[in-house]
Amino acid sequence: MKAWVDETKCQGHTLCAMAAGEFFVLSDEDGHASAPDQHVPPELEAKVRLAAGGCPEQAIVIEA
């Protein structure tokens, strides 16, 4: 599974990092999230899916 953040949609709510802080990294400057490694480890898949479902901007893209 792959996942990444659509930078044009992300508004920096930081909810994704609360749900899956092992995967999403927040910018120190604006709080916007990114996923440095798009490959989601199997043990983090559930958390990343939760984060995607909870993102208010639907900025997290998941590719199975």
Indicate the residue type of 1.
M
Q: Which of 3, 4, 20, 33 binds ligand SF4 (CB under 6 A)?
A: 33
Q: Are 34 and 25 in contact (CB under 8 A)?
A: yes
Alpha-carbon separation of residue 20 from 24, 39, 41 (angstroms): 6, 14, 12
**Residue 61 engages ligand SF4 in binding (rule: CB under 6 A):** no
**Residue 59 engages ligand SF4 in binding (rule: CB under 6 A):** yes
**Residue 10 engages ligand SF4 in binding (rule: CB under 6 A):** yes
User: Which stretches of the chain bind ligand SF4, using CB under 6 A?
Assistant: 5, 10-16, 32-33, 55, 57, 59-60
